[in-house]
Structure 1
């Protein structure tokens, strides 16, 4: 840490401690003679992927979006290499993580997501090709990799189902794209005195459909229907509850109105988000069935028209 800090003008190291929230990259709080900072060590990202994140954060801070700035060293570089892995140092953002935000705080989050999507619309960082960008092609490639890794009959059956489901998505070129955050876990949100103060951890951010961030906020399924309860439901049951989804969409539209194309194809983007969940949990199944397959089946039974009517019709 002392050697790394010697390349910066952030003062001398007084103390450092690991950040306990977050599970992918390694983060430390740094205390120096000039203040407090956050050191991030990327365990599984290339330098080019990190540079995408740096480009994005610098763009957002120039637009006055509430997120911690990434700091540069004495040579003007925003990323360094230690033991062949990249690292960055960020401003320390004050605030608290709220595991159970109230309704007003949830609305603040929706507003910030809408404003983020407005700022990043059509924004494509130079290092976008080095990021895991959420689209149909990436989903299919990741599914093939997972199937080869697991190498079981169940995995191959899951791959065939996923291929068929991806082929049924309708995602026209007219849908706006930009950079989405894609991870609104409470550990990535900071509140100060009950008010939203910062969005952190852009490790999963990528260039994709702007609707994907909105899809991450909504859950049209009943709270009782989840990854560990779905086998208890019959296939013909009604598992939907659109009340919260309608409220989120109304709040989002106050800050970024959706086009007709976006409203109509939210059905497809939401299904794409489910398919990416299927990738992250590719080894999860029960017999020939699994959670994401059941969710897609319920959505297909409901249909695009009824999905649209439930969340957008007056």
Structure 2
């Protein structure tokens, strides 16, 4: 028999399973808060001193801007083959970053309504109302003006105009014009993501030449398979938000077939640049291209067999592919070896 007031075996078992900190607080007469209650309480606490600056930084989508670094530096090194002008490269990168940050911020302003409906974007600052929409709009416009002025000062007018065209194209043509109206949105809207190579080439030479256009084509053709692979993974999100991405309106077989086609075009575009580069770039582009093609064909074959596929794997690896190709181009350009075109010509 147990003494009056002594807990029974069921209660003792439950107490033993509680975390020791909970038992101690209960013994001391302190309120015990459950996990859900703790989460709610944490959400009501005053934000940290860096919450607002971090929210504005998040509007610029810092991870997306990595493409700017991957594309701009090798392009500038190729344009000034055999030389490295650190001051011009850093100045152009900063101006390009301001421009990309402006475009991304204005994109968040335009997409605030659908960002609230998608799990992938629900934590963005405007979706969770961490920043007033009007303030975000002003922030984006200021960044755009600063980008134009900076590049005009540190590089030249052509580079400044190109970054302004990029912002306007991304916001008005892609975000407001194409994104919610056509399944081909990322095909033509993706042109905005190709502009850093033109900006980088113009900053060095003051012109736009065929190697810059070849690099533009590389990113242009790379964007659809990269984005559609992500959209396959988050198809329900896009459908819920009413965004007609290709995986929402077409079968998986159709989508993966298009991915294969655009992957081939991407690899061919990298090889088209070979005459302007050296043997190192040619080898890297060929090997990396074969690897990228194998991944795309594997995804397509898996869908045709009815297998459970992982499109996100292709999305992630496509980033690695682009990084490898452009890093190979950067090293090749710094080395300054004779170009394939000069050797054959």
TM-score of the aligned structures, taking structure 1 as reference length: 0.34
More strand by share: 1
TM-score of the aligned structures, taking structure 2 as reference length: 0.31
More helix by share: 2
